[in-house]
Chain A
Amino acid sequence: VPALRILGISAFYHDSAAALVQDGVIVAAAQEERFSRKKNDRRFPQAAIGYCLEAAGLRIDQVDSVVFFEQPLLKFRRVAATWLGFAPAGCGSFVRVMSSWLTVKLHQRRLLAQQLARFGRFDARRLRFTEHHLSHAASAFFPSPFDEAAILVVDGVGEFATTTIGAGRGNRIVLHQQINFPHSLGLLYAAFTAYLGFKVNSGEYKVMGLAPYGRPTHAQTILDHLVHRKADGSFRLDQRYFDYCIGAKMTTPLFDALFGGPARKPESELTQRHFDIAASIQQATEHILLDITRAMARNDKTGNLCLAGGVALNCVANRKILDGSGFKNIWVQPASGDAGNALGAALVGHHLHGEQPRSPAPNRDTMQGAQLGPAFTQAQCEERLRRAGAVFTVLDDAALVAQTAQKLADGQVVGWFQGRMEFGPRALGNRSILADPRVVDMQRRLNLKIKFRESFRPFAPSVLAEDAQAWFELPVASPYMLLVADLNPLHRHACENRDDAAPGTAALNLPRSSVPAVTHVDDSARVQTVEARTNGRFHALLAAFKQHTGCPILINTSFNVRGEPIVCTPEDAFTCFMATGMDVLAVGNCLLDKEAQTVSSVERPDFEAD
């Protein structure tokens, strides 16, 4: 019997999620954190599954199969092998880790079936398992516009594999080669993330954002000492420098000695040394990824490359691969982290287990702009806002777009809540905070007064797809903010010290371009190109803003504050709006002015540092 309705689940490691694929169409996908309001929630995705079933109008017994994103027993073998590699060192972690395996994960099938039975009658025989990197590969290839492509998966670790090369053709995927734990690019980057005082698994973006402030003075040290490489890009990490296998830290004292000092304490001051180390690990990572993808391109006849795995969220490295690997086209899964594995698992269920055909459309992926989460009707938005005590006016589409564009052009910061929530780490114009990129201190203002985060962190521009090439050096579309592009020289400004090799954060407040708030110190920007056919309302807003200002670009940052997941519901949006320095909020066709609000004080939640 062909499986037509497949639920995919990713859980228990990082960022749990669920996805539902019906007749090959991605009907719904969402991360649990958005519902539970606990960032990177890794518990069983109860609410996300509930949402997916509701969106598809299905009961759990109408689902043909449920596919879990990895093989617990294979992972257990890796964990066991790790201690065989290190014992007699590592007794403490052996006891801790093994006891939790004995009590929980070895019973994964039973526990999952129990949880699924909470939704109704669930036949445990419908529960299937796939492998971690196969679900990543499926999430990268099956939604892509390619009929044939090479596939590269790079992350921290799943079961054994940390880096996997494969190929996709039609509805088949074959994985050819892999590099196993503990040799991992994701963990190498994570080690530096921890060393720089950020949280592993979420602070990696910050390292990438810091890199342009520094010089890659240690890149060669990394490549010479930490990584042993072969000509085909394959590598091993020298484990004397790392403690993540059996220890309580990511790195060892030997690592500290090599990089001239102890790890940075979280929240302490960032210095040029930290910028240089960030620049170094970024460059070393790009170097290794280029070696791997160039070797892949030499053996490839398709010209197409699909990427997934947490490392594929490194949009700076993605651009290097696009420019330098030899592949003509690349497509990156927007939910490349482990949340995307829920979607990958569902697609494995459909195309691989269910052997269902696949007919990709040229130049058009099947991710629907990653707009795969909950949406609220206008009536629901009004009802929910009213109950929250919000004061708002209801406008027709044209007035909403015109008034919002006017307010943006006046320098106001706008919360923009429309349509379906995005799947993956990026807000792409449905759960976004928007602002005018031409304002010089807008980056500082947004970071400190609205997102409550470090002032060095850059913001991304959303640009009308048809104007992208006039503003950015971007040869292809970038609908998911997964590629960086340099600002077109026409829009850069000459300013002192701009070519200084080590700009540091002092360069931050120089008016480097006509859109300074979205131009990093190296003139790069993490661009989202917005098409009318994917996100009509956001496209219309950008077009209206362009009409006012001549600038087809808006700052687009996710609708949340530091430490909090992106908002999901109108209530979440209103709470976040009231707790921050945002001026205006648009929820569907409702427009809220901060000054008109009568709710006296919405208590600002206690934002933990991320």
Chain B
Amino acid sequence: LPADVLATPASAGPDSLAGSSSTKPLAAIATLVMHGLLALLFFVLVSPLAMLLRVLGVDVLGLRRDDRATSYWRKTGSN
């Protein structure tokens, strides 16, 4: 899954956050709740904001081809 590979941290260590067997059901519920909240966040906040920016003509990732620009280099430190 490229998006995951490019954006997801691997676990910080061999046993970090893996959870012991006794906490596994709890951890599973917590994960489920978190996923639900994140999905909600995505549709309630991220998507409208993304669409608003698009309507306003803000090209967050510089996805558009720009025929007038002489260069696609950007100054370092200008993120």
Q: For residue A98, which residues in chain B have a CB less than 8 angstroms away from its CB?
A: 38
Establish whether residues B13 and A244, one from each chain, have CB atoms under 8 Å apart when the complex forms: no
Q: Per-position contact with B for A177-211: 1 when CB-CB < 8 Å, else 0?
A: 11111110001000000100000110000000000
Stretch of A228-236, A397-405, A551-559 with 4 or more beta carbons under 8 angstroms from chain B = A228-236
Residues 72-115 (chain A) with a chain B CB within 8 angstroms: 72, 74, 77, 79, 81-88, 90-91, 93-105, 108, 111-112, 114-115
Asked if B11 and A104 sit within 8 Å, CB to CB, the answer is yes
A246 to B7, CA, bound (A): 9
Contact A94 B38, beta carbon cutoff 8 Å: yes
Which of A161-169, A517-525, A586-594 lies at the binding interface?
A161-169
Within 8 A of A (CB), among B26-74: 31, 34-35, 38-39, 42-43, 46-47, 49-51, 53, 59-63, 65-66, 69-74
Q: What chain B residues lie within 8 Å of A85 (beta carbons)?
A: 50, 59-61, 63
Query: Which residue in A83, A105, A111, A248 is a CB contact (below 8 Å) of B2?
Result: A248
Q: Which residues of chain A are near B6, meaning CB under 8 Å?
A: 156-157, 187, 244-245
Q: Are A88 and B73 in contact (CB under 8 A)?
A: no
Are A82 and B73 touching (Cβ within 8 A)? no
Contact across chains for A246 and B3 when beta carbons are under 8 A apart: yes
Known: A88-B43, A175-B76. A112 touches B12 (CB 8 A): yes
Chain A contacts to B: CB under 8 angstroms: 11-13, 42-44, 46, 72, 74, 77, 79, 81-88, 90-91, 93-105, 108, 111-112, 114-115, 156-157, 159-161, 164-166, 175-183, 187, 194, 200-201, 228, 230-232, 234-236, 238-239, 243-250
Question: Inside 8 A of A77's CB, which chain B residues have their CB?
Answer: 79
Q: Judge if B23 is at the interface, Cβ distance under 8 Å.
A: no
B8 within 8 A of A: yes
Contact count A vs B, C-beta below 8 Å: 177
Q: Are B70 and A93 in contact (CB under 8 A)?
A: no
How many residues does chain B have at the interface if contact means C-beta atoms less than 8 Å apart?
Answer: 46
Check B12–A74 contact: CB distance below 8 A.
no
On chain A, the residues within 8 Å of B77 by CB distance are: 175
Dominant SS at the B interface?
loop
**Shortest beta-carbon distance, A563 to chain B, in Å?**
18
For B61, give its contact among A108, A112, A182, A234 (CB under 8 Å): A182
Known: A105-B9, A234-B71. 11 other contacts (CB 8 A): A79-B7, A83-B50, A84-B60, A88-B47, A94-B38, A94-B42, A103-B17, A179-B72, A201-B5, A236-B63, A247-B2
- A residues in contact with B53, CB < 8 Å: 84
When the two chains form the complex, which single residue of A99, A159, A182, A200 contacts B38, counting CB atoms closer than 8 Å? A99
**Contact across chains for A87 and B8 when beta carbons are under 8 A apart:** no
* A99 and B74 in contact, given A104-B9, A248-B1 (Cβ under 8 angstroms): no
* CB-contact partner of B76 in A161, A200, A238, A246, under 8 A: A161
B29: min CB distance to chain A, Å: 13
Q: Which residue of B lies closest to A107 (CB)?
A: B12
A249 contacts across to B, CB distance below 8 A = 2
Supposing A175-B76, A178-B73, A243-B2 touch, asked if A82 and B11 sit within 8 A by C-beta, the answer is no
Chain A residues whose CB sits within 8 angstroms of the CB of B14 once the complex forms: 43-44, 46
**Contact, CB under 8 Å: A99 / B35:** yes
Cβ distance A141 to chain B, nearest Cβ, rounded Å: 15
Specify the chain A residue showing the minimal Cβ separation from B5. A200
| A372 CA / B38 CA spacing, docked (Å) | 45
Residues from chain B with a CB closer than 8 A to the CB of A161 are 76
Q: Assuming the A-B contacts A93-B1, A96-B8, A105-B9, are A87 and B50 also in contact, with contact meaning beta carbons closer than 8 angstroms in the complex?
A: yes
